[in-house]
Structures are given as structure tokens and as C-alpha cells.
């Protein structure tokens, strides 16, 4: 094989911004982690579905998924001459499956999924434009027990693959909008109010909220560890229309505390960013010492405002961030098989848990060849020997 000039080699290896190759052993490590997560979901009654990478645009971006339009790559289908979109999030696809192909399946319907998504742009916290998602959706029930089940499953699944220091940050993205509507805030005032809340800017909040500043400052102040934060939020005198959302949050916190008293749960009642299509209790998952969110989830309707939609809740884990929260790949027992090793002997080694690497040429120094091929052992007449 002729040597490729360095510049030509670099040009071949260059990938678009936000895309990358996942190499050994990381690619195998990711596959194993995803498999273990799916296994944990299955143990909790969630059955896997596998939607396509590309769909017709009108189906992919219908209902609540319309908010993903700016993050969706579009291509023309040469067969049908219709526009298609490359998925940027798998949740709307699973919701579509539930309301179409599985519309007659018994409820509650528990589904799981895993796959790659592609987005037009990365974010400040996630510069990758292609990354893996793995998650679940619980479709049908509209009650706090379902929200708690989803949150507890997210925590237990992450623990099952070795993640430590998991914390759940809860919010109700419908709370602030409900209060604003009850107070008849104008669109401009609400836009300023939301910007102030997003930046946690008390001065800007006081200016935007005007005579209602003390109410919104009280809601903003009801943040922190769940038990105390729920008590502070319960003490806020807010319009009746918002009290149901507040009670939903309190009920979910109570159920989580009863089932997993050691799980770290915080409350941020004004967080709305990234929860545009959520309709109830929602959450973000973090791990101590890990930059960025491991995942997020919450309550929504499968069809958005469409009357055929159903209440649902679920979560999505981002495999790139999850991997940063885990120990690295464990070393495997790789043994070099000298050229001509009997196939039955190799099969016996694999049955014992060895990873076999067959030599493709006669080597004068088999131990050196084993090291060159990243093998920890060499097969000798007495069995695998360390090198």
C-alpha cells in the first residue's frame, strides 16, 4: 500500500463541525452502555421500538415537534419527490408510532428506543450535532404516579450502568405562563418577564413584572432542594389556575421521596428553556462533576394540540454525556492466536470469555506481535500466557 501524503490524509479525515468518529474501545463501550440501559428499561416493562432515521417532513414535524423545525436537516426524496427530514429528536417519532401503528395497543403503553439524531446546530453545552439518544415514553396515564415512575426509572437506569451522584432538577414549565395569563400580562411584558426569569435577574424581573414583582420573585425564590423548595412554593399566594400545576409538582416530589429517599431532587419552578412542548412536571438529569445534562424529560401530549393526542411522559438520555459520567471501558482479555491455530481451540477460548485475535502471518516474535495488536496474552502450548 502506497503512503498517502499527509495533507491528503488530513483532508480525508476532516469531518463537518459537530460530527466525529467514535473509535475503539469507545464505540464498543457506548454500545454496551446503551444495551444495558435498554435492558433495564425492559425489566421495567418498556418494549423497544425502532423508528426510521428519515421521515416525511409533515409527519416528522407535526404537532409539538414543530418546534424542532429549525434544527432539522431536510432532503428531497428522489422516489416520491416529497420533502423529508432527518430526525433531530426521537420522542416525536415514538409519539407518532403510539398514536398510529400502536393506537389500539392497551394503555398504559410503555415504549423504549435508542438511536442517533442529527441537528442543524450544536449548543453552548453540546457542540456535537450528531449524538445518541436512549429513552422511554409512558403513554396514556395522566397522573403523578406516571411522572414519578419515569423519574425513578431514569435514576435507576443510570445507576445500573455505574453513574454516580445523580440529581434530578424538577420544574413545571406551565406554572409561570399560567400565572402570567391569570394576571393578563401583555405579550411584550411576558416576553420581558420570561427573559428576566431565564437569566435569574431580580432587577429586570421587578421591572418587567411591575406591580406583580413580589409574586414572581417569590416563585423564583422557591428554588433549591426539594422538601424546602416545595414548602416555599406552597406558601406563595398565586392565582387558582396555577395551583393545580403546583400541586402536581408536590405530588411527584412526595412519591419520589417515598420510593427513593436518597435521590437528590431539586426544584426550579421558573425553568422553561428546552421544555417548549411539555405540559406538566418536567426534569433535567445531572451528575456530580459532569459538565452538561445527562438527559431530560417530562409530561406532554403525543399530538400537541391535536385532539387525537394522548397524555404522555418520558425522558431521553444523551449517550455522549452519559459516557462522561461513567468509568472508562474495562480492559478485555485479548489473546493472540498464532497462524494455524485450530478453530475449535479458538472457539473454546471464546466460550471461556477470551477475545481472540487471529494472526494473519508468521511472526518471528509472537510476544511482540501480540503487544502490537493490543493483546494482553499469547496462546501457547500451555494456554494463554501474558505478554
pLDDT digits (tens, 9 = 90+) for 356-370: 999 999 999 999 999
Domain ranges of the chain: 25-325, 334-386
Give the Å distances, CA to CA, from 280 to 17, 158, 166. Answer: 35, 23, 22
For 297, phi then psi, to 5°, come to -170, -175
pLDDT of residue 96: 93
83 labeled part of a ligand binding site: no
- Rounded to an integer, what distance in angstroms lies between the CA atom of residue 361 and that of residue 42? 45
Confidence of residue 275 (pLDDT cuts 50, 70, 90): confident
User: Is the predicted pLDDT of residue 99 greater than 70, yes or no?
Assistant: yes
With beta carbons less than 8 A apart as the criterion, state whether 167 and 262 touch.
no
pLDDT digits (tens, 9 = 90+) for 198-251: 999 988 998 888 899 999 999 999 999 998 999 999 999 999 999 999 999 999
With beta carbons less than 8 A apart as the criterion, state whether 298 and 278 touch.
yes
pLDDT of residue 52: 98
- Rounded to an integer, what distance in angstroms lies between the CA atom of residue 260 and that of residue 6? 56
Look at residue 44 and give its three-state secondary structure.
Answer: coil
pLDDT of residue 305: 60
Cell numbers linked to 302:
403525543
Among 225, 188, 227, 234, which residue's Cα sits nearest to residue 209?
188
- Rounded to an integer, what distance in angstroms lies between the CA atom of residue 265 and that of residue 166? 9
pLDDT of residue 306: 65
User: Is the predicted pLDDT of residue 385 greater than 80, yes or no?
Assistant: yes
**Omega before residue 108 within 30° of 0, cis:** yes
DSSP line for 114-179: EEEEE-SS--SS---SEEEEEEEEEES--SHHHHHHHHHHHHHHHHHTT--SEEEEEE-TTHHHHH
- Rounded to an integer, what distance in angstroms lies between the CA atom of residue 144 and that of residue 185? 30
- Rounded to an integer, what distance in angstroms lies between the CA atom of residue 147 and that of residue 312? 9
- Rounded to an integer, what distance in angstroms lies between the CA atom of residue 166 and that of residue 156? 10
With beta carbons less than 8 A apart as the criterion, state whether 298 and 281 touch.
yes
What residues contact residue 285 under an 8 Å CB cut-off, 6+ apart? 154, 155, 158, 166, 167, 168, 169, 293, 294, 295, 296, 297, 315, 317
User: Is the predicted pLDDT of residue 1 greater than 70, yes or no?
Assistant: no
Confidence of residue 5 (pLDDT cuts 50, 70, 90): confident
pLDDT digits (tens, 9 = 90+) for 51-96: 999 999 999 998 778 888 999 999 999 999 999 999 999 999 999 9
Tell me the percentage of the chain whose pLDDT exceeds 70: 98
- Rounded to an integer, what distance in angstroms lies between the CA atom of residue 134 and that of residue 113? 6
With beta carbons less than 8 A apart as the criterion, state whether 100 and 62 touch.
no
pLDDT digits (tens, 9 = 90+) for 289-314: 999 999 999 999 997 666 668 999 99
- Rounded to an integer, what distance in angstroms lies between the CA atom of residue 333 and that of residue 346? 13
What residues contact residue 67 under an 8 Å CB cut-off, 6+ apart? 276, 277
- Rounded to an integer, what distance in angstroms lies between the CA atom of residue 124 and that of residue 129? 11
Among 28, 12, 1, 20, which residue's Cα sits nearest to residue 323?
28
pLDDT of residue 131: 96
Range 25-325 classified under CATH 3.30.565.10: no
pLDDT of residue 67: 85
Cell numbers linked to 214:
413580589
Confidence of residue 277 (pLDDT cuts 50, 70, 90): confident
With beta carbons less than 8 A apart as the criterion, state whether 135 and 315 touch.
yes
89 labeled part of a ligand binding site: yes
With beta carbons less than 8 A apart as the criterion, state whether 169 and 155 touch.
no
Give the end-to-end CA distance of the chain in Å, rounded to a whole number: 30
360 labeled part of a ligand binding site: no
pLDDT of residue 129: 95
pLDDT of residue 63: 79
137 labeled part of a ligand binding site: yes
pLDDT digits (tens, 9 = 90+) for 324-374: 999 999 899 999 999 999 999 999 999 999 999 999 999 999 999 999 999
User: Is the predicted pLDDT of residue 8 greater than 90, yes or no?
Assistant: no
Among 59, 91, 54, which residue's Cα sits nearest to residue 73?
54
- For the chain, the average pLDDT equals 94
Length of the chain: 387
For 86, phi then psi, to 5°, come to -90, 130
133 labeled part of a ligand binding site: yes
Amino acid at each position: 500500500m502506497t503512503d498517502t501524503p499527509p495533507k491528503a490524509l488530513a483532508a480525508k479525515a476532516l469531518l463537518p463541525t459537530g460530527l466525529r468518529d467514535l473509535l475503539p474501545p469507545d464505540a464498543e463501550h457506548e454500545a454496551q452502555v446503551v444495551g444495558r440501559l435498554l435492558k433495564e428499561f425492559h425489566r421495567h416493562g418498556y418494549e423497544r421500538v425502532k423508528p426510521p432515521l428519515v421521515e416525511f417532513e409533515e409527519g416528522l414535524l407535526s404537532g409539538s415537534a414543530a418546534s424542532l423545525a429549525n434544527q432539522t436537516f431536510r432532503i428531497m426524496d428522489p422516489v416520491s419527490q416529497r420533502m423529508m427530514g432527518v430526525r433531530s429528536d426521537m420522542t416525536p417519532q415514538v409519539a407518532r408510532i403510539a398514536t398510529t401503528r400502536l393506537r389500539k395497543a392497551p394503555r398504559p403503553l410503555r415504549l423504549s428506543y435508542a438511536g442517533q439524531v442529527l441537528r442543524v446546530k450544536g449548543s453552548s453545552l453540546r457542540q456535537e450535532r450528531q449524538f445518541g439518544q436512549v429513552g422511554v415514553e409512558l403513554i396514556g396515564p395522566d397522573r403523578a404516579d406516571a411522572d414519578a415512575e419515569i423519574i425513578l426509572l431514569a435514576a435507576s437506569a443510570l445507576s445500573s450502568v455505574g453513574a454516580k451522584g445523580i440529581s434530578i432538577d424538577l420544574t413545571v414549565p406551565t406554572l409561570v405562563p399560567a400565572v402570567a395569563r391569570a394576571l393578563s400580562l401583555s405579550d411584550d411584558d411576558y416576553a420581558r418577564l420570561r427573559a428576566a426569569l431565564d437569566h435569574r435577574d431580580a432587577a429586570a424581573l421587578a421591572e418587567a413584572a411591575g406591580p406583580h414583582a413580589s409574586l414572581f420573585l417569590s416563585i423564583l425564590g422557591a428554588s433549591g432542594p426539594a422538601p424546602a423548595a416545595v414548602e416555599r412554593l406552597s406558601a406563595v399566594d398565586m392565582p387558582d389556575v396555577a395551583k393545580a400545576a403546583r400541586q402536581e409538582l408536590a405530588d411527584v416530589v412526595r412519591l419520589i421521596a417515598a420510593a427513593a429517599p436518597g435521590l437528590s431532587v431539586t426544584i426550579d419552578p421558573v425553568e422553561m428553556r428546552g421544555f417548549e412542548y411539555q405540559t406538566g412536571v418536567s426534569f433535567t438529569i445531572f451528575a456530580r462533576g459532569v459538565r452538561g445534562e445527562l438527559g431530560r424529560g417530562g409530561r406532554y401530549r403525543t399530538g400537541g394540540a391535536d385532539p387525537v393526542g394522548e397524555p404522555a411522559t418520558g425522558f431521553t438520555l444523551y449517550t455522549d454525556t452519559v459516557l462522561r459520567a461513567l468509568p472508562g471501558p474495562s480492559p478485555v482479555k485479548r489473546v493472540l492466536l498464532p497462524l494455524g491455530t485450530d478453530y475449535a481451540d479458538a472457539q473454546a477460548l471464546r466460550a471461556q470469555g477470551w477475545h481472540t485475535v487471529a494472526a494473519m502471518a508468521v511472526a518471528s516474535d509472537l510476544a511482540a506481535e501480540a503487544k502490537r495488536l493490543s493483546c494482553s496474552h499469547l496462546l501457547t502450548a500451555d494456554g494463554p500466557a501474558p505478554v
